Amino acid sequence: MVQPSVSLVMIVKDEEEMLPRCLSSVKEFVDEIVVVDTGSTDSTPEIARSFGAKVYFHPWEDNFSKHRNQSISYATGDWFLVMDADEEILPETGHLIRKAIREVDFDSIMFYVISLYAGGRKAFHTQQRLFKNHQGIHYEGRIHNKIIGVKSTCIYPIHILHHGYNVSQEKARSKHERRIRILNKELESSPENPRIYHYLSAAYMAVPDYGESLDKALKALDLAEKAGKISDPFFAWTFYIAVNSLCELNRQEEAERICKKGLVLFPDDPDLNFLLNRIFFETRRFKELRMAGKSYLSLYFSLRDLKRIQKPIHWVTFDLSWKVPWFLAMSLSESTDARQRNSLLKQAAQMAGNWGDIYHATARYKMAQGRYLSAERDLIKALERKSNDLGIIYSLLEVYIHLGDEVKEIETWEKLLLLSHESRQRAPQEIRRALSQGRTNDAQKLLLALVRACPTHGSVPEVIVEYLEHSSDILNHNEVWHTAIKTNNRIKQAILDKGFYFLSSGNLEKSTQIFRKIIAADPSEPAARLGMAVVLWIDGDVESMAKELDNLLDIMNFPIDKEITSLEELRTLFAIIAELFYEHGDKKAATFASQLASRLSCCTNSSHIP
């Protein structure tokens, strides 16, 4: 018996990072790979060809369906498999592709698409991905393309992992802007199409912009109702977006009304059932919560095994399902209902797959009640189980700010900066904002953490200089500056420059503090010795000044065994020191020493140093 052939059809652009993983996951299960490239400037075409793909080039036209149809037109297989570069077939299910096309008597097959989000969260939905090569079959819709011409479909337990939501903020922003642009263009030609408003609402919720997502979702539901399409299972997702947006906007009464309307149409929708539980919990209607929670858990366990799902589904809150037993646990007394409460927390942990989320959620609940010491204990337990979870670390920061524990606050900032590139990038801006708002103490804590965590960060020297314009108290933290000055020469130079600025401005207290700090951290720094010598001279401590100048000359390998007794001799010495600094490439210190020599030349009339 001849096996039906399968063609993988794709559209790509600049996908050199993702494409190898995608093609590696599926190459053994298809007979042909067809790729339409819409303008790559990287090595995407070469990568595709290395997997045996036929690559065709078409300029991007802001229309996904048009390019999907182009890819189909080049394919020759009996079946078409549609995938994107940011997806992969799970290895334990890929072999089922051949089995499915042999067994089913349908012209399309739905897969389970599991979408991964930043922070490890996931959601899933069913989607047509494999369909027969029928004449007239095609896609419609500029962005959320829909297959037209398929007459029958079934669900098969083949799993696709979608990585497209787990991307950098910059890439996510670019995708969002493109999505909104294309949908608005599509709206111009189909202003009464509820699906376009739905997809706009989904795009805005992903940002998130809950005001816009609510507006677009309500418009979609209104149009769907007027068109008699409101009972289409597709719009269960729209109800979810509307209700979730209202919850996030703290409009629970409206959220409950729309949620219940959606549940009349879609009583088994897991997302709407989840939101109803959330609404009852947030409005503290615990009796209704217990009834809704029992119903939800029954639904959850019937859907948890994906193989048992026999109809299309979109389950956004799949990874949040554990919150329902957690809601129920929080509705019980810690003292009188301890056993039942702990049992529910254990169930929540089993559903979440870890205790870290449970401890974190419980801590946030206690923080809202002002129980910060108890919350701290839960957060420490959470961090023991999820040591790199940024959300937990941010919550700990909030706790220590409320408790006024500055030592632990700085330590927590340091941990956050070590873990998060985004936090390291934002830290200098936050320090500057705090300084501009007069929150010097907040700026100091974050700056100390930044210097401890990443002293070589490019913005650190400039931020230190800006901080010193407001206060020099940060220099009291010796252990920080010893490390920073030795690690980053730019930090040392920035602080030196500030010291000479204060000295030139007559601020001896701040300049003295800076020069002594640098000498303590790096005794061989000649510029700090120069600054300190001048401070001592101005203070009238000539003997100590002479010792500093001797130290400076020894460091620069130019010892002078001669006592300085006149201003002329001191002028000559500063001129020599200026030349030495020029030779060592320190133009700023050289200029400062040269200016001192010039000033002394005006008052050397046989004056003697006392």
For residues 274-279, give the mean pLDDT: 98
The whole-number pLDDT of residue 77 equals 94
Buried b (16+ CB within 10 A) or exposed e, 364-400: bbbbeeeebebbbebbebbbebbeebbebbebbbbbb
CA–CA separation, 25 and 29 (whole Å): 9
Going along the chain from its start, the domains and CATH numbers come out as 6-166 (3.90.550.10), 419-522 (1.25.40), 529-610 (1.25.40)
Lowest-confidence range among 118-122, 235-239, 458-462? 118-122
The whole-number pLDDT of residue 314 equals 85
pLDDT at 607 over 50: no
Top pLDDT among 64 and 44 is at: 44
116-153 pLDDT, tens digit per residue, is 876 667 888 889 999 999 777 888 887 777 888 888 88
At which residue do the structure tokens 């000539």 appear? 542
At which residue do the structure tokens 């369909």 appear? 131
Prediction pTM value: 0.75
At which residue do the structure tokens 């700085």 appear? 410
157-183 pLDDT, tens digit per residue, is 899 999 877 656 677 777 778 888 889
The single-letter DSSP state of residue 229 is: -
* pLDDT range class, residue 521, cuts 50, 70, 90: confident
Buried b (16+ CB within 10 A) or exposed e, 66-105: bbbbbbbeebebebbbbbbbbbbbbeebbebbbebbeeee
β partners of residue 215: none
587-604 pLDDT, tens digit per residue, is 888 998 998 888 887 665
Q: What's the chain's average pLDDT?
A: 89
The whole-number pLDDT of residue 310 equals 66
Nearest residue to 420 via CA among 391, 448, 398: 391
